[in-house]
Homo-oligomer: A and B are copies of this chain.
Amino acid sequence: MTYQCSKEERAFLDKYDASKYERPSVTTDIVVFTLDDNDRLSILLIKRGQFPYKDRWALPGGFLHTGKESLDDCARRELKEETGIENAFFSQLYTFGAPDRDPRTTVISVAYMALIPKHRIKVKAGDDAKEAGIFQIKYDVDGMQFSNSQMTIRESDLAFDHASVIRMAITRLRNRIDYEDDAFSLLRDPNEFTISELKKIHETIKNKTLDLPNYRKSFLRDYVKSGKVVELDKNIVSKGKPAKLYKLLGGDAS
């Protein structure tokens, strides 16, 4: 939009002193959820290569290129830099603004969450990250843990307030999964999937097993009858009875 205004106002704007108020830095940080090879809920963490919190694990993210991009664009750009993904499903989560959350200066963090199938993530260490990895989310008496085949990171080892961010993202994801179409974004291929595959995603996120016949009924009612998903004229080859394949229409969710 171009801003229409009077000459008087234009004059005011032209001499507006941008440094009138002290400004905070603004970053976006992204909770990238995925399912690992054993269908366990996992997130992407990077090991910081710079102060502060150097060598500590943190969420991917980075500073807003002020004036050149929107917050969404910033999150999209960071996501691409860290994972190589271009068209991922993501949504804004919450904005964290405690004045002491970064030891350098006030840094406002606009947190996003993204849902990406694991095979699409090309983990790569970037500018500020010396390492990056996908870690399964576990819980014990001390809270969350993040582990892969090589190591385990406790939530208290994370940089900044990123443990809080992740906790909120998990809560939000669990709440959204029942009424939003988020699950589709984690499919290996939304153009060719079985009911069981989608059910598995729901089970992982809700952390409980679901009854397949019942899941099937609500899937057919909620998605197929409404036209969001179509049945393909193909079956999958498998051990038991071959399952019908379905295709997500429209939004693509990817």
Contacts and interface: CB of A to CB of B under 8 A. Distances in A.
Contacts of A26: 23-24, 26, 97, 108
* Identical copies of this chain, number: 2
A23 B95 contact: no
Nearest to A179: B175
Interface in A45-100: 51-52, 54, 63-64, 66-72, 74, 92, 94-100
A151 B105 CA distance: 45
A70 B67 CA distance: 23
A104 interface: yes
A79 to B, nearest CB: 16
A81 to B, nearest CB: 16
A74 B106 CA distance: 14
Contacts of A23: 23-26, 66
A16 interface: yes
Contacts of A70: 97-99
Interface residues of A, number: 41
A139 interface: no
A1 interface: yes
A156 to B, nearest CB: 12
Interface stretch (A5-13, A184-192, A230-238, A241-249): A5-13
A7 to B, nearest CB: 12
A105 B67 contact: yes
13 contacts: A5-B51, A12-B51, A13-B103, A16-B104, A23-B66, A26-B108, A67-B106, A68-B99, A69-B99, A70-B97, A92-B95, A97-B110, A108-B108
Given A16-B105, A22-B66, A26-B108, A9 B54 contact: yes
Given A23-B25, A54-B9, A104-B13, A71 B92 contact: no
Contact of A66 (B13, B69, B94, B106): B106
Contacts of A12: 51-52
A18 interface: yes
